[in-house]
Amino acid sequence: MDMIRKKSKSFLFLIFAFWIWLFNADKILASAVPAGTNFCNEGLDLSGDRSTNKGDKEVEDTIREINRFTLSDSLWKMWRAIEDSQYVVAKIDTMKSLKTFNKGVKLAREAFDLISELKQPDLDSLVKRKIKLKAILLFEKARADFEQTFKLNPLDMKTQTYLIWVFQNLAELYDHCDNTLRAISMLEYLTYILNDDSKLYYTLGEKYFNIGKWDQALANVRTSIELILDDDWNKIDTKQLFWHYHLRANTEIQLDMIPEALLSLNYAKLIAPTEIESKEVQKKIDWINWDDGNLAASRKSDSLDTELNQGTEDYLKIKQEYLNLLNQVRTDKARQDINWRIAQLEFNFLREREKAVERMLKVVQQVKFDSTNKVEEVRCQKYIEDFCTMCYILGMEHLGTQHYKKAFVYFYQSTEFGWSQIGKCYLQLAKLSSLDNCAVLKFGQQAFANESQLTNEERSTLYHLFYMAYKRLGKFDDATFWIHKTNNFSMGN
């Protein structure tokens, strides 16, 4: 039986070429798509498709007739029974099988002609749906004939090949008609014939995943990986293997199989075809490790983030849910991230800016630095940037209301960490220290060290501060240098 199966796979190409030549069609036959369990009795339901007119009698009659067809489990029991046996076909059964085979070929020819009609431009959506349903009905009838042929002569290679082709087309058509369960059923039966096809099991796993059948998805993708790894190592397509492990990891995540998912992801990262895929896998690993495998917390955080991105304005409710989440997470890393998100809500939307800065101060105080005084984790630089930006904004607001002491405190806080606009903060500190010439020079030198962060107006202000401070200290040579620099700058030199 294995020999016949292998021959049928190689014979497929010849059959496909024959169909294209026979009908003078462009091509092409449906390829096996994702799939699932044995849902052979699931009826065709198009009620959710807006393009289908429920009142169209032709459509309703076609669907009703399609739903009369169910696959014969006895057929596949027979298939399994003869796999390892020396089966002999009687001459009379061989003659009968030719009749049902030819009948099936005729029906399949009509179905193929209908599929070719879909290539016509500007077809109405309802017309397309009618064509697909008619093609499904013809393929279903052809399948019934080929199954009967198979029962009469299970050793005939052409029958197996046509069954494969019919199942593939039915799976594709059912999928296009939004009947995932029936598509899954077709592909499940394909595995009886092509039980060594890794791509078929992968697509089954993918289709199961799409409908939330995690156990079936995992079983199929595991089989697909085993089939790939059982092959000649020199023939293994690592790109294909990457996507198999990627699907496996996503399924294991859905089943909360954390160690297994991390193992699959790390293997996928090793064989990632490009740097883009490698980074995407790393993001998934980081997501799992966000709270040490506490996926319930990760998902809750994602859902709150999604609510915000979708434009919700119930910020108080979101803040409270984040506060509740703080009591559910396990790690300091997760707590840091949640407090950062709460602080953003408080600062930007809830008019609790000073409270937000206090919260962010606690977050940045937990940031760890390496021996070169750089943050150990990239995400922590974002915390520092946001904290310092908040301080700078509050400092400018207090400056505008002439609360100079409060402004000084916030500007000074924003210089405690290295960030992208630290020069502006030092400039404000220098301006607020105008009565203390030494302080002006100290803060001014720090601002000058980050001169590239300043606007032209801010640079001009800084040069003038140096000039005035040196002049008051009696250092006229230095004062002259800075007045010349100010004049040259103002003239564009």
pTM over 0.85: no
Which amino acid would we find at residue 130? K
Q: Which CATH class is domain 196-288?
A: mainly alpha
The confidence score (pLDDT) of residue 403 equals 95
Helical residues (DSSP H) of 327-436, grouped into ranges: 332-348, 353-365, 378-400, 404-413, 422-432
Length of the chain: 493
How far is it, in rounded angstroms, from Cα 382 to Cα 414?
14
Burial of 126 (0-12, 13-18, 19+ CB in 10 A): middle
Report residues of the chain scoring pLDDT below 70: 1-56, 70-87, 490-493
Q: What is the pLDDT of residues 399-439, one digit of tens each?
A: 999 999 999 999 999 999 999 999 999 999 999 998 899 99
The confidence score (pLDDT) of residue 199 equals 93
* Cα angle 275-277-282, degrees, rounded to a multiple of 5: 90
Q: In a 3-state reduction of DSSP, which class is residue 369?
A: strand
- Whether the CB-CB separation of 444 and 469 falls below 8 Å is answered with yes
- Whether the CB-CB separation of 231 and 238 falls below 8 Å is answered with no
How far is it, in rounded angstroms, from Cα 477 to Cα 49?
84
| CA neighbor of 135 nearest in space, from 174, 101, 88 | 174
- DSSP E strands in 172-222: the ranges are none
27: enclosing H helix or E strand? none
How far is it, in rounded angstroms, from Cα 155 to Cα 160?
8
Extents of the domains making up the chain: 1-194, 196-288, 421-493
The confidence score (pLDDT) of residue 86 equals 61
Which tokens is 154 given? 């299970």
Residue given tokens 């630089």 in the structure block: 381
How far is it, in rounded angstroms, from Cα 395 to Cα 350?
18
